[in-house]
Amino acid sequence: MTTFANLDFDRCYRAVETRDQRFDGWFITGVTSTGIYCRPSCPTPIRPKAKNVEFYPTAAAAQLAGFRACKRCRPDASPGSPEWDLRADLVGRAMRLIADGVVDREGVAGLAHHLAVSERNLGRLFRREVGATPIAVARAQRAQSARVLIETTDLRFTDVAFAAGFASIRQFNDTVREVFAKSPTELRKAGSGSTNSGAIGLRLAIRAPLNSDALFGWVAGHAPNGLATVTNGVLTRTLRLPNGHAVASLTPQADHVWCEIQLESFADLSVGVARLRRLLDLDADPTSIAEHFAGSALADLVAADPGLRVPGAVDGFEQAVQTILGQQVSVSAGQTFGSRLVGEFGEPLLIPHELVDRVFPTAETLADADLSAIGLTGARQKTLTNLARAVAADGLDLSPGADRAATREHLLALAGVGPWTADMIAMRALGDPDVFPVGDLVLRKAAERLGFSADRKELAAQSLDWSPWRSYASHHLWATMYPESSD
């Protein structure tokens, strides 16, 4: 029987017995009697016997063990595991980089280089903790991208294969048949066809509940003009991706977020989806987070809004710039500065759209730009210039797979970047779920209202009780001060 250290067989099997949707994405169930792998919540009328199941931490591990994806529950489209966002170790960082397309663009050697580790050591760690090699995890991601393109577009299969990251049409055909037990032609017949306006339509799976009003409002309320907007409850957001621009329209539903994404290059599909998921914190497990806070002084706050998410970023550099622009000013003032910067240095969106029209400038663009027209102080201009040059020179890593501790040290070494700025960048750009920016005045006021110490050191010490979900604690506290919050 296959087991992994982080998977308790009895607990996993109870989840399968009760079809508990909360565990979808946390682990995969392989059924030895049928040769398929499923979500824990698979609605199949006959539950597998305990002697016939094996549990895996990833779909890639199940595929490597010879299982194929269930046609009923589509486990490859389940929410991602919150574990990979929580973990700051090398494996967690690698999983976030794979989701961001590093293996497809640079190979396993490139992934190992980003992590400053040998390919051999990386492979050993993955086999032990993920149950599959990095290339197998990337292959599973490619298979899911291929399925979406097959089912929702009219692209030729040759184009689908290379857009999804496969090296050859033969590799594409073999993988699709092996993973889904269907040929590409059979998948297309079962698909929905192409969507309107040349967009690809797909479901972004979530773990309910989701407070989309607050989340979408935060994203649009902090983004510079031209990058994001909310209209009739639909969030529209531009993205700069490795191979071109994209624009996504996101509509919340009861058990998912419906996404229509237009891409300059279909090869950016999986990366675009991964970045949108990080922006909206869609891999969060609100039930587990609420259970963590039960019995604490924040229990009532968390229970009142179990669907709260911690907004992330579609680009680490963009978020870092916006954070610096928001230092010691209101949210509206920070957005104004950002809008001026994007208006002056941002690029026109290359995909015509009636609601958004710009993408954020690159670090290379801002590294040598004259920022005086934006209305910033000389010191703030210098901070932005130093940040852009550090990122452009590849010395400062703001990617999802960054070493969070090393990045924080690098940020604090830049003139004009203090603990508050470093904390906010860690929370949003790096997706760290365990940040409590005690230097934030609004946060401290909210904590004082609940009877916590006003002293920074004492409050920071008290916040350790909420670890590893202190970013969520921060947002629940900020919410009590709305609309004063300047986070």
Catalytic residue numbers? Answer: 38, 440
DSSP characters over 262-300 = EES-GGGHHHHHHHHHHHHTTT--HHHHHHHHTTSTTHH
Which residue in the block uniquely carries the two structure tokens 């190979």?
107
**Residues forming beta bridges with residue 27, ordered by sequence position:** 24
Phi-psi region of 13 (alpha: psi -120 to 50; beta: other; left: phi over 0): alpha
Residue 119, amino acid: E
Q: Please state, in angstroms and rounded to a whole number, the distance separating the CA atoms of residues 285 and 356.
A: 31
The candidate with the shortest Cα–Cα distance to 235, out of 249, 223, 221, 256, is 249
Q: Are 279 and 311 in contact (CB under 8 A)?
A: yes
CA dist list (Å): 258 to 185, 228, 352, 355, 435: 25, 17, 21, 18, 29
Which residue in the block uniquely carries the two structure tokens 């703030």?
380
Q: Please state, in angstroms and rounded to a whole number, the distance separating the CA atoms of residues 78 and 80.
A: 6
For residue 135, the Cα-to-chain-centroid distance in whole angstroms is 20
Which residue in the block uniquely carries the two structure tokens 């490619």?
142
For residue 337, the surrounding DSSP H or E stretch is helix 331-345
**Residues forming beta bridges with residue 348, ordered by sequence position:** 358
Phi and psi at 30, nearest 5°, equal: -100, 125
Q: Sheet holding 53-56: strands in order across?
A: 53-56, 28-31, 36-38, 68-69
**Residues for the chain: how many in total?**
487
For residue 169, the surrounding DSSP H or E stretch is helix 169-180
Q: Please state, in angstroms and rounded to a whole number, the distance separating the CA atoms of residues 19 and 164.
A: 31
